[in-house]
Amino acid sequence: MPSQAAYQPSETSSPKAPDDGRVTPMMAQYVEIKAANPDCLLFYRMGDFYELFFEDAEIASRALGIVLTKRGKHLGHDIPMCGVPVERADDYLQRLIGLGHRVAVCEQTEDPAEARKRGSKSVVRRDVVRLVTPGTITEERLLDPTRANLFLAVARRRVSDTAWAYGLAGVDISTGRFSLSETGGLGLQAEIARLDPREILLPDAILEDPDLAALWRDTRAAITPVPREGLDPASAERRIREHFGVATLDAFGAFSRAEITAAGAALLYVEKTQIGQRPVLQRPARDRAGEALAIDAATRANLELTRTLSGERAGSLLATIDRTVTPGGARLLAERLAGPLTDVAAIRERQDAVAYLARHGDLRDRIRLRLKRAPDLARATSRLGLGRGGPRDLACVRDGLACASELGSLLSIASDLPAELAAAGRVLGGLDPSLADELVCALAAELPLLKRDGGFIRAGYRPELDELRDLQQDSRRFIVALQARYASETGCRTLRIKHNHMIGYFVEVPQNAGEEFLKEPWSKTFVHRQTMAGAMRFSTLELGDLEAKIASAAERGLRLELGLFDALAQRVIDLSAAIAAAAEATAVADVTAALADLAVGLDWSRPDVTEDLAFSVRGGRHPVVEAALQREGEAFIANDVDLSGDGSGRILLITGPNMGGKSTYLRQNALIAVLAQMGSFVPAKTARVGIVDRLFSRVGAADDLARGRSTFMVEMVETAAILNQATARSLVILDEIGRGTATFDGLSIAWAAIEHLHEENRCRALFATHFHELTALADRLTRVSNATLTVTEWKGDVVFLHEVVPGAADRSYGLQVARLAGLPAPVIERARAILTELERSDRERPKRALVDDLPLFAVSARAEPREPASDPLREALDALDPDALAPREALEALYALKAKR
């Protein structure tokens, strides 16, 4: 983090505050602007710094670790203040936004010279030009290239006395994406988890709804309250029509009232935060919600789909499968993984495309090679649209379009393209090359970061600019040429052009030649300025022009360049819809080629996605665990599963030792379902996946103490959600449910849950458990079967074979695992003795086990050695008094004791 050392308050721009309680004009301005933005930290522009005052300064100095100082007084009190240099503001913004703050950027909106004209006391006009919030940032440095940056507006409409329809509008200002969806209250959490917004706008009524309190509390997104109920549908619709300049929304598709209201609220927020700038948003498009596989937040977290439990991308499924080579591709892959489809035809379309590029390795390699050099077209376009772009963004558009066209050519010569690639090819092939050509002609080879530095327009693009630059850089050559011309025209070989600060450029000739210049015809060209000793000086119109040109060439050149920049940026904006389509098609090509590369590289296969309730996998693997094992040089053991049912799914109950591979097995099957439905190939020899509508995955004993809920409570809340929501189409993964409470409580709950899944939900399910008692359910429930993970013992150590076979585990191997884990040997030995005793008493008195609720008591009761009726050894021992024995007697006593044994 940059240090604060360079910071120097700019005293000149800050009139010293009076001590007498009066308010300085500057402070009055500050207070007014701050009052209009109470929920933001105010970055108040002072020369080369943004300064923060009062509480903002205290918050920012703490958050950023920068020095808190004072600047003058306000109402008789010191004003706390800190500041950040403008050119490093991005770093500070990133930190503040990351911490969940919002920042209002307040700029000087006039030249300080203008302000001085109004009087020495007047303050430079300032205004907030932008609100920077987590969900509305566009700067390359503040954004993760592989992640969409959405804010989500939520609105709702009553559909019955007890139910609401929620409209969600997701806007990614950084790419222009604008998507709408609708969901009922039950699906709200999964839908938000799918969209994974950085910021959520909530009308007070929704924010304060007690039924949703947990959702807002648990979300990772920043919550931004908006007043009351939010917008009404009519004004929302008007706002959308106005923004897109259309008379009716019909052309956009059919939207529900809740969606329209949310979309209007989203646009209102864009206006509020972007102030005067209009981002190039695509027309709102309805996400095929309801068509996406519903995966709630807990399941996503548990399966580590896009980030691990600790919040990292590395180690997630996404990171493991991501072979995309462009930022747009990476974002699309994340989006597809977050929202797998449920429409068989749409899934097959994606699979066809992946299969095609898996077969055509040559085309795939060429596509990927070309894409490696492709820039982030969508984000560059967005910055240009917001007036925040620089020359390098224009270059991004140039290079992105060039790449898109070349990709279009590559695809156009391929034969028998599947629909998805053919559609991408059509978009790319249909691009009008004129903008890309123009940018190639216009932009210089080396580009500055900021347009204000100039120098980004290529020589030869505009003759006026070339001339201005020539004047600037090569003014001497002009002068020499002019001098040569004057000398030859006048025949005065000693004529010189010189410069001084008094009269600027002038022609100097010897006195006698000068006399001639005073006469016709030369007096028409040469205007006498000075007579020196032995020399005369003249000015000419040409020289005057030249001088004026040189003097203002730099300024005019820059102005011309900036004008050209704006014109080019405007052309980009005018074409933004086509550019967005090209960016999307490029991303599709990238994702498809990446998934094909993955499938070929790791020997994945195309799953058969069907409408029935099949779920059978042969030779399935867990992609993340397999990759981790591979790094260690170890092999992953592939396993099969079959949960296929007719009308109802099957339930597989898995018992087996700790570390046997139960969790891995469970998760790999859930991941195979997700991968299959996102259109990817899967890590298996063969797979048949009947469309899953909802995926649930739960692990017992997940701690959530930070949120003040006990482990068991979390487990039960999540289990309740599954039992209430799973349908026959769902896939349920339950790992060790019921362990957060006493043995029999837990066992009974697990037992009842399986019965419910079997009888009511009738879904496909995998249930891993330590309760061996549950395996008896396979005899009682028709669609429940048992499986276990094989182990073997070698020289007293347990060896996990990680192979799933039918049947129940006979033992837990808990002690062997404990030994592997390094528990001290005496503890292991003691545990072994207790276990033997427990198992013996369990065999003798099996009934007792069913009533021993608390295992701790059971252990102590059974582990206590029973009192024998009479024990000669003990009696002999008691009779001994070691202090009274001579050494020899002691030895004899020892032999006697030994004999009694």
* Tokens representing residue 141 in the block: 């440095």
Closer residue to ligand ADP, CB minimum distance, 350 or 802: 802
- Least distance in Å: CB of 888 to ligand ADP? 59
Closer residue to ligand ADP, CB minimum distance, 374 or 666: 666
Closer residue to ligand ADP, CB minimum distance, 33 or 627: 627
Q: What is the DSSP letter of 390?
A: -
Q: Is 195 left (phi over 0), alpha (psi -120 to 50) or beta?
A: alpha
- Least distance in Å: CB of 664 to ligand ADP? 3
Place of tokens 């990351």: 98
* Tokens representing residue 183 in the block: 């969901």
- Least distance in Å: CB of 813 to ligand ADP? 10
Classify 536 as helix, strand or coil: strand
- Least distance in Å: CB of 663 to ligand ADP? 3
- Least distance in Å: CB of 617 to ligand ADP? 13
Helices vs. strands in the chain: H and E counts, helices first? 34, 27
Closer residue to ligand ADP, CB minimum distance, 282 or 664: 664
Closer residue to ligand ADP, CB minimum distance, 301 or 347: 301
Q: How far is CA 113 from the centre of its chain?
A: 44
Helical spans, DSSP H, in 372-521: 377-385, 391-412, 419-429, 434-442, 463-490, 511-517
- Least distance in Å: CB of 701 to ligand ADP? 12
Q: Tell me if 621 sits within 8 A of 638, measured CB to CB.
A: yes
- Least distance in Å: CB of 595 to ligand ADP? 23
CA-based nearest residue to 156, from 219, 222, 220, 201: 201
Closer residue to ligand ADP, CB minimum distance, 259 or 736: 736
Closer residue to ligand ADP, CB minimum distance, 129 or 629: 629
- Least distance in Å: CB of 804 to ligand ADP? 8
CB atoms within 10 A of CB 13: 18
Please, which residues bridge with residue 77 across strands?
Answer: 74
- Least distance in Å: CB of 302 to ligand ADP? 13
> Looking at this protein, which amino acid is placed at residue 72?
G
* Rounded Cα gap, residues 116 and 47, in angstroms: 15
Closer residue to ligand ADP, CB minimum distance, 383 or 662: 662
Closer residue to ligand ADP, CB minimum distance, 320 or 664: 664
Q: Tell me if 497 sits within 8 A of 529, measured CB to CB.
A: no
- Least distance in Å: CB of 788 to ligand ADP? 10
What's the alpha-carbon Rg for the chain, to the nearest Å?
39
Q: Which residues of 612-634 are buried (b: 16+ CB within 10 A; e: fewer)?
A: ebbbbbeebbbbbbbbeeeeeee
Closer residue to ligand ADP, CB minimum distance, 90 or 803: 803
- Least distance in Å: CB of 690 to ligand ADP? 24
Q: Is the dihedral of CA 736, 737, 740, 744 positive or negative?
A: negative
Classify 709 as helix, strand or coil: strand
Closer residue to ligand ADP, CB minimum distance, 398 or 802: 802
- Least distance in Å: CB of 662 to ligand ADP? 3
* Rounded Cα gap, residues 273 and 265, in angstroms: 12
Closer residue to ligand ADP, CB minimum distance, 607 or 660: 660
* Rounded Cα gap, residues 637 and 622, in angstroms: 9
Q: Is the dihedral of CA 576, 577, 580, 582 positive or negative?
A: negative
Q: What is the DSSP letter of 759?
A: I
- Least distance in Å: CB of 649 to ligand ADP? 22
Residue 224 main-chain phi, psi, to 5 deg: -120, 110
CA-based nearest residue to 84, from 47, 43, 50, 132: 50
Classify 880 as helix, strand or coil: coil
Closer residue to ligand ADP, CB minimum distance, 537 or 621: 621
Closer residue to ligand ADP, CB minimum distance, 133 or 616: 616
Residue nearest to ligand ADP (CB): 661
Q: How many residues does the chain have?
A: 901
Q: Tell me if 420 sits within 8 A of 354, measured CB to CB.
A: no
Q: Please report how many Cα atoms fall inside a 13 Å half-sphere around the Cα of residue 35, on the Cβ side.
A: 6
| DSSP character string of 57-102 | HHHHHHHHT---EEEEEETTEEEEEEEEEGGGHHHHHHHHHHTT--
- Least distance in Å: CB of 774 to ligand ADP? 15
- Least distance in Å: CB of 753 to ligand ADP? 18
CA-based nearest residue to 125, from 133, 115, 139, 134: 115
Closer residue to ligand ADP, CB minimum distance, 468 or 750: 750
Q: Which residues bind ligand ADP (CB under 6 A)?
A: 625, 629, 636-637, 639, 656, 658-664, 802
- Least distance in Å: CB of 797 to ligand ADP? 15
Q: How far is CA 269 from the centre of its chain?
A: 20
* Rounded Cα gap, residues 851 and 858, in angstroms: 10
Closer residue to ligand ADP, CB minimum distance, 579 or 637: 637
Q: Tell me if 607 sits within 8 A of 687, measured CB to CB.
A: yes
